[in-house]
Chains A and B, each alone.
Chain A
Amino acid sequence: MKTLGPRISFYAGFVVGTLTLSVFLRQLWFERQVSTLARDLDYQQQLEEEKKMWKKEGSALYNLKHPHHIGEDSRMADELYKKVRILCWVMTGPKNLETKTRHVKYTWSRHCNILVFMSSVDDPDFPTVGLGTKEGRDQLYWKTIRAYHYVYEHYADEADWFLKADDDTYVIVDNLRWILANHTPDEPIYFGRRFKLFTKQGYMSGGAGYVLSKEALRRFIEGFKSKQCTHTSSIEDAAMGQCMEKVGVLAGDSRDSFHRETFHPFVLEQHLTFRSFKSFESYCYYPVLEGPNCCSDMSVSFHYVDAVGMYLMEYYTYHLRAFGYRYRYQPPTPPGYSINKFESWDAGKKDKKLEQKLVHPDLSRTDKRQNEDPPPVDGKDGPAAAEESASEDTEATVRGFIKTHLKLPEDTVKNITFDRVHRIGAKRTRTGRPRPIGAKFGHFKQKEQVKSRGRELKGSDLSMNNQFPKEILERHKVLFSI
């Protein structure tokens, strides 16, 4: 009996020792897991990642990586990126930077040409611009006014279109370019989700985002300078709409060719599933369509998108797809952007005939267009000085014209590059009058330089102007008659 006591206590001690140490070790193991996780989420690492993604110039961000997929043909998108330059400015505040704005930075805003975050407070690290206002709903119009002034002052030359978005707006910038490619930045026009009330021509919903052309922005700034526009109210979107109307900027129709809306004031789920209600309908300028026709395939924006929603939208837009699926809606190609030159891109023998028929429906039209209707912008026409001959070198004619009549130095003229130069219009054999020459410049700056010499032609029978396709000229007629 005497030996039993110590033996029991031995076994008891054994059990206790095993249990305590096993609990202890398990705890240690979890701690190790957690600590490695913490190391991975190290702040320093994040900063490193960001440096590789963005180029910071003052408060503007330029995306370096310009997200692309392997095996993707994004030549059309790339061309639009170059030609339709969009500056995105995002309305935010210091409290939202980590919870909302960060996710904007990591998703859709990477597709903008230039990105600026507007806040009440300067933050050189994020970076955000301090607009010198307070925070709050009543400050929205002040922030908008100041933001647009800031953007005009610093980046007017670097972009063609100027988009305003909230930090809970998701924007598909590629689709915005698709819409805007049908217009030029010289047009006084702005686009968004068109609402009626408060203004004759309607105004654009603030939350769904709106985009001003360069001319519209210029007129907005001028409007404030001349006191035509003032801080009329704190309801940012309505007030903006009133100013736009005053300075003669047109409220554009952003719907697709099936009349489906592209800018949306709510999240995708709501638009797809809700049954229309009167108060919403009373706001919308165009008739509200329910179900899948609520939203265009080429949708541009959604509002009230939370952090998870940002990544979800990015996944749905740029990543998740159905292999080989032939979409029902084939968006029409914007004028001047021909698909046929992309034909040679790895178009394999499989379904090629089918693809040509379906994916390039404008094939025959674009061919003709190239001969009759040179692309908009960068064009220049006017009755040519020289008589035309059957086999003339139109490019040499134009160069001669620039040297002689516009009086630009020979070296400058030599350096000018043209993509295309040719006579426009049907041959007028009867009247014998020379046809205008259209010249597509290789560089925007060179065109601007040549254009600026226009005053040299004063008093002569020669003229020089931008050339726009028919649709845009029609639109100009409407605008300038206001």
Chain B
Amino acid sequence: MLGDVCSHSKQDSWLNKDWKDRRTTGGTTVVTLLVSAIMLSDGCSFMKGMLLGGVFCLVLSFLGSFNFSSESSTEDHHHHHIYAPTKDELKRLSDSRVEELKNQVRVYCIIMVQPKTLVYWATVLDTWSKHCDNAVFYTSESSKALEAVDLNEKDDWARLRKALIHAYENAGDLRWFFVAQPTTFAIIENLKYLILAKDPNEPFYLGNAVKSGELEYVEYSSGIVLSYEALKRLMTMFKDEGQCPERTHTLWKMGEDKQLALCLKYAGVFAENGEDRHGKGLFNKQNVVNMIKQSMQDNPTDVVEGCCPDMAVTYGGMSPNQMHVMMFGVYRLRPYGHDFHDWLTFYPPKDSDND
């Protein structure tokens, strides 16, 4: 009899029932287990222990079932979203206002490079960075091949700090800042469209916003966007060695994107996620090929629609060749006879032949 109870297969009742039903059956099974446990009080204590252990585990999993299955969704559940303006919103603005906004939305690109990523550096220089109003390359050490602002700094966080300070001091009349890595490909026109109606004198910190524990931060490889006000507050924060130290002497290092988020948080600036009206993220840390491969598995009948947004701003992890192809795909290749009549026109940059 003990043997029967000990080998009682709880399996069957679970496999054949739906999740909802499982909860109710689970409840009843727990009760029966408890009862049987008590009944066996004079039997093997090991078995008793095992039964109670199992019951304990079930109870825990029920309570934690929401956390269990929605692991991925909590990450997406952002409180702050940033959308591009709709066509109607733009239509309502006057001509002069639109011109004003177009001028206001000019971008200072901060591209963090290193001599060891020279090929990527050269590709960024040759491709999308030409569409920035001012593209400045910041390197950890000088390279004979290409020009950059030499920060002479090996520590990632310290380097980012120095670059941001330099950008703030040399901003001129540019009011938006975009931080990228050499493996990032950015479509600056789409960035401008996203922030078109946003006031740079308000603190904005946006990109691909993800959560790590309690901290919500903008992921580095998909690009970080900062408004003038956000950067200004950051400058003040940098002077506070307590909350926002230049060098951390802890054993484990927090990524510099998380460090940045922390400093900004103390300055009252919070991360926001850039997305389109369908909820698709405009800042992607994966490269486009991987995203398509994923979509081929997830949505085999609707691969492209289910994958990537039309007005994507960034893709991370791009190889140099992939960047050349994307450059052609965005700024050259199109089907004849399809027009969008966008409310704004962005002109191609001077002295460029691949766009």
A interface residue numbers (CB < 8 A to B): 6-7, 9-22, 24-25, 28-29, 32, 41, 45-46, 49-50, 69, 71-80, 106-107, 111, 172, 174-175, 177-178, 268-269, 272-273, 291-293, 295, 297-299, 307-308, 311-312, 314-329, 331, 345-351, 354-355, 359
State in angstroms the CA–CA spacing of A321 and B27 once bound together. Answer: 54
Chain A residues with CB under 8 Å of B24's CB are: none
Does B333 count as interface, using CB distance less than 8 angstroms? yes
Decide: A10 and B189 in contact? CB cutoff 8 A.
no
Decide: B50 and A14 in contact? CB cutoff 8 A.
yes
Q: In the assembled complex, how far is the CB of residue B110 from the closest CB belonging to chain A, in whole angstroms? A: 21
List B residues 139-172 near A (Cβ within 8 Å): none
Interface hub of A24, A111, A317, A351 (most chain B Cβ within 10 A):
A351
Interface pairs A-B: 10 shortest CB-CB: A13-B49, A17-B53, A77-B337, A316-B329, A17-B50, A76-B337, A174-B335, A13-B50, A178-B336, A18-B53
State in angstroms the CA–CA spacing of A159 and B188 once bound together. Answer: 42
State in angstroms the CA–CA spacing of A280 and B140 once bound together. Answer: 42
State in angstroms the CA–CA spacing of A122 and B271 once bound together. Answer: 57
Decide: B293 and A308 in contact? CB cutoff 8 A.
yes
Digitize B251-262: 1 where CB-to-A-CB distance is under 8 Å, 0 elsewhere: 000000000000
Does B8 count as interface, using CB distance less than 8 angstroms? no
Q: Contact partner of A71 among B87, B131, B296, CB < 8 A?
A: B87
Q: In the assembled complex, how far is the CB of residue B49 from the closest CB belonging to chain A, in whole angstroms? A: 3
Decide: A325 and B50 in contact? CB cutoff 8 A.
no
Q: Contact partner of A273 among B46, B321, B339, B340, CB < 8 A?
A: B321
Chain A residues with CB under 8 Å of B14's CB are: 28
Q: Which A-chain residue is minimally distant from B14 (CB atoms)? A: A28
Interface hub of A21, A79, A111 (most chain B Cβ within 10 A):
A21
Chain B residues with CB under 8 Å of A106's CB are: 301, 303
Does B19 count as interface, using CB distance less than 8 angstroms? yes
Chain B residues with CB under 8 Å of A178's CB are: 336-337
Decide: B329 and A14 in contact? CB cutoff 8 A.
no
Does B58 count as interface, using CB distance less than 8 angstroms? yes
State in angstroms the CA–CA spacing of A272 and B49 once bound together. Answer: 69
B interface residue numbers (CB < 8 A to A): 11, 14-15, 19, 44-58, 61, 68-69, 84, 87, 90-91, 95, 98, 131, 187-190, 192-193, 288-289, 292-293, 295-296, 300-304, 307-308, 310-312, 321-322, 324-326, 328-348, 353-355
State in angstroms the CA–CA spacing of A329 and B355 once bound together. Answer: 9
Chain B residues with CB under 8 Å of A349's CB are: 95
Chain B residues with CB under 8 Å of A22's CB are: 57, 61
State in angstroms the CA–CA spacing of A326 and B342 once bound together. Answer: 10
Q: Contact partner of A316 among B58, B330, B346, CB < 8 A?
A: B330
Q: Which A-chain residue is minimally distant from B310 (CB atoms)? A: A319
Q: Which A-chain residue is minimally distant from B302 (CB atoms)? A: A49
Q: Which B-chain residue is minimally distant from A47 (CB atoms)? A: B301
Decide: A308 and B342 in contact? CB cutoff 8 A.
no
19 contacts between A and B (CB under 8 A): A12-B49, A15-B49, A17-B57, A21-B54, A29-B68, A32-B19, A46-B300, A49-B302, A76-B336, A76-B339, A77-B337, A80-B336, A312-B288, A314-B304, A319-B310, A323-B190, A348-B341, A350-B90, A350-B344
Chain B residues with CB under 8 Å of A329's CB are: 332
Decide: B335 and A273 in contact? CB cutoff 8 A.
no
Chain A residues with CB under 8 Å of B53's CB are: 13-19, 21
Decide: A326 and B346 in contact? CB cutoff 8 A.
yes
State in angstroms the CA–CA spacing of A236 and B72 once bound together. Answer: 52
Decide: A17 and B54 in contact? CB cutoff 8 A.
yes
Q: Contact partner of A323 among B49, B193, B301, B348, CB < 8 A?
A: B193
* Given A14-B53, A297-B333, A325-B331, A72 contacting B345 (CB threshold 8 A): no
Chain B residues with CB under 8 Å of A308's CB are: 289, 292-293, 296
Decide: B334 and A268 in contact? CB cutoff 8 A.
no
State in angstroms the CA–CA spacing of A71 and B90 once bound together. Answer: 14
Q: In the assembled complex, how far is the CB of residue B22 from the closest CB belonging to chain A, in whole angstroms? A: 9
State in angstroms the CA–CA spacing of A335 and B342 once bound together. Answer: 26
Q: In the assembled complex, how far is the CB of residue B116 from the closest CB belonging to chain A, in whole angstroms? A: 21
Chain A residues with CB under 8 Å of B300's CB are: 41, 46
Q: In the assembled complex, how far is the CB of residue B128 from the closest CB belonging to chain A, in whole angstroms? A: 10
Decide: B321 and A345 in contact? CB cutoff 8 A.
no
Q: In the assembled complex, how far is the CB of residue A346 from the closest CB belonging to chain B, in whole angstroms? A: 6
* Given A49-B301, A175-B336, A325 contacting B95 (CB threshold 8 A): no
Chain A residues with CB under 8 Å of B331's CB are: 322, 325, 327
Taking A312-B288, A318-B335, A320-B330 as known contacts, 6 extra A-B pairs with beta carbons closer than 8 A to each other, sorted by chain A number, are A9-B45, A80-B336, A297-B334, A315-B292, A315-B329, A323-B190
Chain B residues with CB under 8 Å of A7's CB are: 45
Q: In the assembled complex, how far is the CB of residue A201 from the closest CB belonging to chain B, in whole angstroms? A: 27
Decide: A9 and B345 in contact? CB cutoff 8 A.
no
Interface hub of A7, A295, A324, A346 (most chain B Cβ within 10 A):
A324
Interface hub of B48, B325, B330 (most chain A Cβ within 10 A):
B325
Q: Contact partner of A324 among B295, B304, B329, B343, CB < 8 A?
A: B343
* Given A10-B46, A12-B46, A29-B68, A351 contacting B336 (CB threshold 8 A): no
State in angstroms the CA–CA spacing of A341 and B95 once bound together. Answer: 25
State in angstroms the CA–CA spacing of A370 and B64 once bound together. Answer: 74
Q: In the assembled complex, how far is the CB of residue B352 from the closest CB belonging to chain A, in whole angstroms? A: 9
Decide: B50 and A316 in contact? CB cutoff 8 A.
no
Interface hub of B19, B188, B337 (most chain A Cβ within 10 A):
B337
